[in-house]
Structures are given as C-alpha cells and as structure tokens.
Amino acid sequence: MDSTRNNHTVVDGQSPHSKIAHQPPTPGTMATNTPAANPRFCSDCGTKLNANSQFCHNCGSSVHGRGSPAQSPSGSKALRWGVPALAILLLIVLSVIQFGSRGAGGESEQRVPFGTGVVQAPDISSMSPEERADRLFNRVMRLSSEGKKDSAAFFGPMALGALEALTPLDAHRRYDVGLVALVTGDVSSATAQGDTILAQQPTHLLGLALAARAADARGDAAASRSFRRRLLAAEPAEKARNLPEYTAHAADISTAIEQARKR
C-alpha cells in the first residue's frame, strides 16, 4: 500500500503540482509579474497623457495643477502688478509736468497746436471786455505779422466776437474789426467797416487806411489810389486832432502814409 502510493504520487522525484507550476509559457505570450499601470488623463482637456509627462501635450496644462510651461506663476504675478504700477508712475510724472508748467508760466494758458508750432491761448476770463478785445486783437495781428496764418485764423473769430461785443462800435473798434476781417479773409466785412467809418467821418485817417487796404484785397487798384490820395490830403488836419485811436495805431497810420507817397 505504501509503495504503491509513493509510485503513484512521485514521478522522477517531482510532484504533479510542481511539474504544472514549472511548465514553460505558451509560445507567443509573455509572462509578467508587474501589474499594468492605470492610464492618466488631462484634468483640463481629457487627453490621455504619456507615462512620464509633466504637462499635457494637447493643451499644455500641468499634470500636477493648472498652468503652462511657457508661463510661470512668478511671471504672471509680476505682469499683474507691473502694469498698474507703471500706470500710476506715468500719472505722477504727468501731474508733476503739468504743475511745473503752470508755475513757470505765471499765467494759466491753454496750448493750441498748429502746423507752425504750439500756440498758447491767453487766459482772458478775468479781463474786462475792452481788455479782452485788445488782447485778442493784438494776438491775431502779431500772429499774422509772423506769418502764422493758421494760428491767426484760429484766434480771428474770437477776436471778432470780443470786438463786436463792444457796441456801439466807434471808429477805433470798426478799424480793429476791419483788420481782423482782412486777416481771416473776409474782405467784404473789411470793406463795410471802412465805408461806415468814412460815412461818419470822411477824412478819418484809419477809415481811409482801412478802405485802401480793402481795395487792395479786392484787386481794385483805382479805388486804392483814390483812398490813398485822400489820406495824404487829410493827414495834416487829422493829426492835429490828436485822437486816441491815432495814438493807438500810430504805426499803422505811418505805414499807410508812406505807402501812399510811393504810389
């Protein structure tokens, strides 16, 4: 009994169980003792990730959290704080420049750009109507004499408005209105002002000078010569009157008489 059991259970010194356990694997298969790793997916776009990936190859998000390899948290933080800081710095600089320009000028003025440069508009808010009109008139005539036609044309309507507000207009103010009208190209208005002065005072030197200049602007040579002859004839008596407007426009009268003598 014992020898039979031993012959049946033992073959070549091996048990049946050990023989089965050491059988070679079936051809075409590979034995492995390592369990398959669980696949990983991007938490942002759902793309399947490679085993050793640190960032998603589809959207660039970090495997361990949000972000991208091209932009670090420190760089994003610097950009977030840098832009407001730069804006504040520029605001401070502009405020300092504006305060300095007001302090250096001594007078609050408005700067008006033109092709020939930057022109400063005078602060006329605290002036009387007469002072305002004189200030604007002088500015327009100075700009015109300097060849700054665009600037003179800009201030011309302001000067006309200030002058025409001084109603009723006397010969002095009508002469001023006529000169500004010539600068702005309104020849008909200049002609009308000259005619009105002469209708009231036929020998008024400023009326004759303005009428001659308006005739030149119209291209009326005959009328220009006529007004200048009248100017030369009226000069001695009119100068003796010592009118305030003759003193205020003494240079204009001298120029008009000199031109009349040359023609």
Distance between CA 260 and CA 135 in Å, rounded?
Answer: 29
Q: For residue 203, tell me if it sits in a domain.
A: yes
Q: Which of 142, 175, 141 is nearest to 245 (CA)?
A: 175
Q: Got the DSSP string for 157-226?
A: HHHHHHHHTSPSP-HHHHHHHHHHHHHHT-HHHHHHHHHHHHHH-TT-HHHHHHHHHHHHHHT-HHHHHH
Together in a domain, 59 and 159? no
Boundaries of domain holding 67: 40-83
- Domain count of the chain? 2
Distance between CA 73 and CA 95 in Å, rounded?
Answer: 34
Contact 50, 57 (CB under 8 A): yes
Q: For residue 92, tell me if it sits in a domain.
A: no
Per-residue pLDDT of the chain (263 residues; tens, 9 = 90+): 444 444 444 444 444 444 444 455 544 444 444 444 567 777 777 777 777 777 777 776 776 654 444 444 455 555 566 667 777 777 787 766 655 544 444 444 444 444 445 555 556 677 899 999 999 999 999 999 999 999 999 999 999 999 999 999 999 999 999 999 999 999 999 999 999 999 999 999 999 999 999 999 999 999 999 999 999 999 999 999 999 999 999 999 999 999 999 87
Tell me the three state secondary structure of residue 111: strand
Encoded tokens for 135: 């200030």
Together in a domain, 137 and 200? yes
Q: Which of 202, 190, 249 is nearest to 226 (CA)?
A: 202
Together in a domain, 75 and 136? no
Q: For residue 93, tell me if it sits in a domain.
A: no
Together in a domain, 56 and 158? no
Contact 229, 255 (CB under 8 A): no
The pTM for the full model equals: 0.55
Contact 170, 178 (CB under 8 A): no
Together in a domain, 79 and 156? no
Report how far apart the first and last C-alpha atoms of the chain are (Å, whole number).
Answer: 165
Q: For residue 28, tell me if it sits in a domain.
A: no
155 by Cβ neighbours in 10 Å (0-12 / 13-18 / 19+) ranks as buried
Instruction: Estimate the crossing angle of helix 250-262 against helix 221-240, to 10 degrees.
Output: 130
CA angle, residues 260, 185, 172, in degrees to nearest 5: 60
